[in-house]
Structure 1
Amino acid sequence: MVSKRFTAGAVATAATLALTVTGLVAPANAEPTSTRTFTVVAEDGVSADAAIAAIRSAGGTVVSRTDDVGLFQVTSDRADFASRATAAGELIGAAEQKAIGRKPKLDRVEQEHLLTQAKGVAKGHGKKLDPLDDKLWGLDMIRADQARKIEPGDRRVTVGILDTGVDASQPDLAPNFNWSLSRNFAPDKTDVDGACEVASCLDPVGTDDGGHGTHVAGTIGAAANGFGLSGVAPKVSLVELKGGQDSGYFFLDPVVNALVYAGKAGIDVVNMSFYVDPWLYNCTANPADSPEAQAEQRAIIKAMTRALNYAHRKGVTLVGSLGNNHEDLGAPRTDVSSPDYGSTPYPRPIDNNSCWDLPVEGPNVIGVSALGPSGKKADYSNYGTEQISVSAPGGWFRDGFGTDTYRTDANMILSTYPKKVLQEEGSVDEDGNIVAGFENSVFKQCTTDGECGYYTYLQGTSMASPHVSGVAGLIVSKFGKKQGRNGFGLAPDLVEQHLYRTAAEHACPEPRLQTYTNEGRPAEFDAYCAGSLNFNGFYGYGVVDAYAAVKSPLKPHVQP
């Protein structure tokens, strides 16, 4: 496998580049303007005290700080603050805060079944532990139903969901939700989220007004309790790391702070089902970008690299989705969608050697592609030998062409979902009843004491990566060791190696050029599978296998 992960040299180069932002550079004698908020990144080797002194000298006030990665949230009423910070030798520069990440667009990929009429109703997959488990073909594909007989997960093992939140009132998530470790790092921002629901604008832990994080959490670790459905690792602890806004955007500070916290809190696994905006690819010096845009992207690369490296050093196994742009990450197409926030997109040829899709192309991240029930790569899924690690069920609405399962909701991934979001989407009414026409895509289960949980189908690489995060949690549960007085865990390099070694090898299709014309896709979706049985661009080291992962002994010195 040739992996385009960051090297020490690349990080050092990025650290020497200064940052300014369009519209913020002003003459040295500029008059004060309205207060703005900036993210400031310190140079390598600069102490926090020295960085803060430089920030103050430039006219800024430090609001919060993350010393472990040299990141500071700063306010300033100077129009020339960014240029003054750039001129300081202790700082890389200052960027006015704007959205840099967003979960995959639900209306385009994840909820395709709601945009096009389903052709029929697929059958279940036989009797399982929980009532809705017969609809979880993904658990069958990765043999999670067999794995739990050996290892269902250990309560000491923590899996973090870095996402839009987790609805802890959901009866399938409540038993495994870790209240003491869960945190919200993303206060509501009225310009993207609307009015704040609470006075502090910081939503309480255990809520999810976006829905995405709750769906991810259910796949990882919904309890096997005879109710609703169960997850891959039904006895691990679920930790909310809210780094995404209610609207689905991801800002730099919350994401970095969540990753640093995960390392400090001893979280074992972190799932990252989002991608970085406003740039589809963050490049160090794309000629198509302005100097200001180039500098902004270098700052994003630097901050994310530091945070991912920090979490990994502290023992966190990092899992990320490859993305839903039907693209070979090693040979990216011209980017015509960036920047998709704050200004007008324009064509950007992408140099694979100097541009990264973050966080999945960041250091130490296990990249996951998405498969349909047939085992084929889903048409939307990114791929490529450069960054893929393993593959997993992500759902594919259009799978099964020529059969009665084609274009059925059951081809997708069913998981937990907040009632509030379903009501906002119009599939559940004010009384909590499923609206007519949604009976095959939304499900409701109630306990004997009247508590009800809701479930819906989604598809995407965002649904594939939590299958892998769940298996990673099982590996830590099975082979983890006591660490210190109260700790428990397993080195992320060992988790990653065992995950790859036990994955079920899957050859490229024949012919290797897979087309999706029967499924109604244009030639742009055609995908060529490079590589061998042992490792290729569609499946990586193979389809993640929960049963093999907990049954096979750990072999630290045996490479996949």
Structure 2
Amino acid sequence: MVRGYKRLAGAAVSLAVAGTLAAASLVTGAGPVGAESPAAGKGEYLVFYGAGGQAEALRAISAGGGAAAAVDAKLGYIVAEGPGTAFAEALGASPAVVGVTGNRRIGAATALAAGAGPATEPVSLPVSSSQDAAASRQDEAASRQDAGAASEAASVRRVPSRGSAARRGEPLSGRQWDMRMIGATPSGSYAKSRGSKRVLVGIIDTGVDGRHPDIAANFNRSLSRNFVTDHPKDPNGRSLDGPCEYKRCKDPVDVDDDGHGTHVASTIGSPINGIGIAGVAPGVSLVNIRAGTDAGFFFLKPVLDALTYAGDAGVDVVNMSFFVDPWTFNCARNPADSRADQLQQAGIITGVQRALDYARARGVTLISALGNGSTDLGDPTVDKESPGYPLGKQRQRTIDNSCLNVPAESRGVISVSAVGPSKRKAWYSDYGTEQTDLSAPGGDPSDTGSSLKGTAREILAAAPTRVLRKQKLIDAAGKPTSSSVVRECHHGSCSYYQYLSGTSMASPHAAGVAAILVSRFGKPGKGGLTLAPSRVERLLYATAIPVSCPASGSTTYSVSEETHTCSGSAAMNGFYGHGLVSAYRAATTKG
């Protein structure tokens, strides 16, 4: 996951002993309740109302001295502006209001156009305006002037014959222990089903480098969207996303300034093209549905927009390697929190669940990373990471099982734990008998149960050149400066790949397997193929390889000096869920 999940996936985390762990919490929720605008002394809020409670919620907003800017009737919330934290707490007293979450102005569809009066009728918020679409097209055209991007795009046109690559495997396939573990190889699932181009897999993440030579052929630019706007600084004036690189600080739909989303997309669907690696489902279409900032924050409004769009656009599977900020665990009634904080967390729980329900009802199979907190989610006791925004505001609080990691513990979501190359549960991976649905390769630098060494125990997938250059992981000449980066060249053009670990790296393996199942059993639907999420879920569980708990019933991790207890049978347990995902079994099952 990115930022939120102990930075194991998303914003790559370097651990002294465990190597680079992909930031485990890509879920960055809306900003804190009462995040007032310095100029106006007011805050913007997402006010979630109960069934039939829209009119009463609008009255409560007005009575509290606020104003409604927009209404999203699909998910049942109002975008409102009001005078600070006291306003949010006053709204919480209304029986019609079920959550109030402060909203940071991220993304093009945060509110209605300037000048619009208070909403009195249900208004469906647009995914993007024609003005935003035009600006996006201008940004895309400008981005093609980037020398590095132009070089990468050129290399796509010089791909060698695919026949031999399909038989022998891609140039870097020898480094893909993860694909061998799940049977995604030339003699395995690739020989049976590589996935259909008509299947759309959405990557809700930090973006996707759509011009990477090992992604471009499968990247669906026309359906991709970016729901965030980069913010150079945080409210305290500290650097956040870095300098704006495009007009209006809005990146094109084929840009990833973090690298997390590109790695995830590559694992799902890098094509078989004689370049680098191949993904789990190398024949599917990849759709960037960006909800994460350059800094790896996933705020509530962009996450809601991304999930709603996935449902409306006919996306078949989405991968969510993140948690919604700013809370690692959301507790609607935790006495350790203020009333304003409780309302914010209730808003996140409610809003994300509604968006997930909306997408699932429209045929979207929901796959999530479980988390990198090394925690039994069935018995959490302490949260030291929240709130993660504004920066530096974390505090230790006592929590219990009523507190939820969102979206991993939300209803209708298939949550995935991570294993290392020996199939041992990764030391960092969260677990739980009620929370773990499946397991998949996520990498574990501390897993000594195989012949692999160091970074080779992690997951290798595509990385954006300019991100690696910015992180000084490649030098001016393009040579890697770290063993975590691999350069693969042919015909004078090179592409880059990076080793990362995390449950963020595990869930895309499951998403790829889900895409294979939709490709095989889906029926013609909106823009392609469709298969009911409930059936995809059943097939995923049926084709998973059962893995029993360790013989001792627990596993001790020397890296963190922790003991994690595994409960359950081989058919279903807290470490592996229904088992290890299998691309080969998905490609060969009779359904």
Q: Same fold (TM over 0.5)?
A: yes
Contact 2:35 2:43 in 1 (8 A): no
Report whether the alignment pairs 1:482 with 2:524. Answer: yes
Distance 2:333 2:84 in 1: 28
Equivalent residue, structure 2, for 1:495: 536
The AA in structure 2 aligned to 1:43 is: G
Distance 2:497 2:336 in 1: 44
Distance 1:442 1:351 in 2: 40
- From the superposition, tell whether residues 88 and 425 of structure 1 become closer, same or farther in structure 2 (CA, over 3 Å): same
Q: Which string of whole-angstrom CA distances, capped at 9 and with x for unpartnered residues, describes residues 159-214 of structure 1? A: 00000000011011100001111100111123232332222121111000011000
1:417 is aligned, of 450, 453, 463, to 463
2:88 is aligned, of 66, 82, 86, to 82
Report whether the alignment pairs 1:443 with 2:505. Answer: no
**TM-score (ref. length: structure 1):** 0.82
Report whether the alignment pairs 1:521 with 2:521. Answer: no
Structure 1 residue 45, shift from structure 2 partner = 2.4
Secondary structure in structure 1 of the residue aligned to 2:461: strand
Structure 1 residue 246, shift from structure 2 partner = 0.5
Equivalent residue, structure 1, for 2:45: 38
Matches within 5 A, 1:186-265: 186-190=228-232, 191=234, 192-265=240-313
1:278 is aligned, of 315, 319, 326, to 326
Q: Which string of whole-angstrom CA distances, capped at 9 and with x for unpartnered residues, describes residues 272-329 of structure 1? A: 0012332221012111112221111111111111111111111100001111111111
Structure 1 residue 447, shift from structure 2 partner = 4.8
Distance 2:79 2:339 in 1: 23
Contact 2:33 2:85 in 1 (8 A): no
Report whether the alignment pairs 1:148 with 2:190. Answer: yes
2:577 is aligned, of 520, 540, 546, to 540
Contact 1:86 1:92 in 2 (8 A): yes
Equivalent residue, structure 2, for 1:348: 397
Matches within 5 A, 1:450-489: 451-483=493-525, 486-489=527-530
Equivalent residue, structure 1, for 2:220: 178
Report whether the alignment pairs 1:313 with 2:361. Answer: yes
Secondary structure in structure 1 of the residue aligned to 2:399: coil
Matches within 5 A, 1:324-343: 324-342=372-390
Number of residue pairs matched by the alignment: 492
The AA in structure 1 aligned to 2:531 is: L
Distance 1:223 1:266 in 2: 22
Question: Please, which runs of 5 or more residues in structure 1 have no aligned partner?
Answer: 1-19, 26-31, 101-126, 555-560
Matches within 5 A, 1:40-55: 40-47=47-54, 55=61
Equivalent residue, structure 1, for 2:172: 132
- From the superposition, tell whether residues 426 and 99 of structure 1 become closer, same or farther in structure 2 (CA, over 3 Å): farther
Q: Which string of whole-angstrom CA distances, capped at 9 and with x for unpartnered residues, describes residues 502-550 of structure 1? A: 1111111111111122xx331xx21111101111111111110111112
The AA in structure 1 aligned to 2:459 is: I
Q: Aligned-residue CA RMSD in angstroms?
A: 2.7
Structure 1 residue 51, shift from structure 2 partner = 5.6
Distance 1:533 1:84 in 2: 50
Contact 1:167 1:208 in 2 (8 A): yes
Structure 1 residue 24, shift from structure 2 partner = 7.7
- From the superposition, tell whether residues 78 and 247 of structure 1 become closer, same or farther in structure 2 (CA, over 3 Å): closer
**TM-score (ref. length: structure 2):** 0.78
1:95 is aligned, of 97, 101, 113, to 101
Distance 2:184 2:411 in 1: 28
- From the superposition, tell whether residues 133 and 61 of structure 1 become closer, same or farther in structure 2 (CA, over 3 Å): farther
Distance 1:186 1:530 in 2: 40
Secondary structure in structure 2 of the residue aligned to 1:45: coil
Secondary structure in structure 1 of the residue aligned to 2:499: strand
Distance 2:469 2:265 in 1: 20
Distance 1:92 1:544 in 2: 37
Secondary structure in structure 1 of the residue aligned to 2:311: helix
- From the superposition, tell whether residues 223 and 24 of structure 1 become closer, same or farther in structure 2 (CA, over 3 Å): closer
The AA in structure 2 aligned to 1:544 is: V
- From the superposition, tell whether residues 335 and 492 of structure 1 become closer, same or farther in structure 2 (CA, over 3 Å): same
Equivalent residue, structure 2, for 1:16: none
Distance 1:153 1:168 in 2: 19
- From the superposition, tell whether residues 291 and 90 of structure 1 become closer, same or farther in structure 2 (CA, over 3 Å): closer
Distance 1:56 1:166 in 2: 41
- From the superposition, tell whether residues 98 and 200 of structure 1 become closer, same or farther in structure 2 (CA, over 3 Å): closer
Report whether the alignment pairs 1:405 with 2:448. Answer: no
The AA in structure 1 aligned to 2:457 is: N
Structure 1 residue 79, shift from structure 2 partner = 7.8
Structure 1 residue 58, shift from structure 2 partner = 5.0
- From the superposition, tell whether residues 134 and 77 of structure 1 become closer, same or farther in structure 2 (CA, over 3 Å): same
2:472 is aligned, of 415, 426, 444, to 426
The AA in structure 2 aligned to 1:463 is: M
Structure 1 residue 80, shift from structure 2 partner = 5.9
The AA in structure 2 aligned to 1:405 is: L
Equivalent residue, structure 2, for 1:161: 203
Secondary structure in structure 1 of the residue aligned to 2:360: helix
Q: Which string of whole-angstrom CA distances, capped at 9 and with x for unpartnered residues, describes residues 213-247 of structure 1? A: 00000000001111111100001000001000000
Equivalent residue, structure 2, for 1:111: none
Distance 2:565 2:168 in 1: 37
Secondary structure in structure 1 of the residue aligned to 2:327: coil
1:298 is aligned, of 339, 342, 346, to 346
Secondary structure in structure 1 of the residue aligned to 2:191: coil
Secondary structure in structure 2 of the residue aligned to 1:282: coil
Equivalent residue, structure 2, for 1:70: 76
Contact 1:33 1:79 in 2 (8 A): no
The AA in structure 1 aligned to 2:244 is: C
- From the superposition, tell whether residues 128 and 285 of structure 1 become closer, same or farther in structure 2 (CA, over 3 Å): farther
The AA in structure 2 aligned to 1:170 is: H
The AA in structure 1 aligned to 2:479 is: I
- From the superposition, tell whether residues 84 and 528 of structure 1 become closer, same or farther in structure 2 (CA, over 3 Å): closer
Secondary structure in structure 1 of the residue aligned to 2:174: helix
Distance 1:147 1:288 in 2: 50
Distance 1:144 1:512 in 2: 30
Distance 2:328 2:105 in 1: 12
- From the superposition, tell whether residues 199 and 63 of structure 1 become closer, same or farther in structure 2 (CA, over 3 Å): farther
- From the superposition, tell whether residues 99 and 141 of structure 1 become closer, same or farther in structure 2 (CA, over 3 Å): farther
The AA in structure 2 aligned to 1:142 is: I
Structure 1 residue 404, shift from structure 2 partner = 5.4
Contact 1:24 1:82 in 2 (8 A): no
Distance 1:296 1:164 in 2: 23
Equivalent residue, structure 1, for 2:444: 396
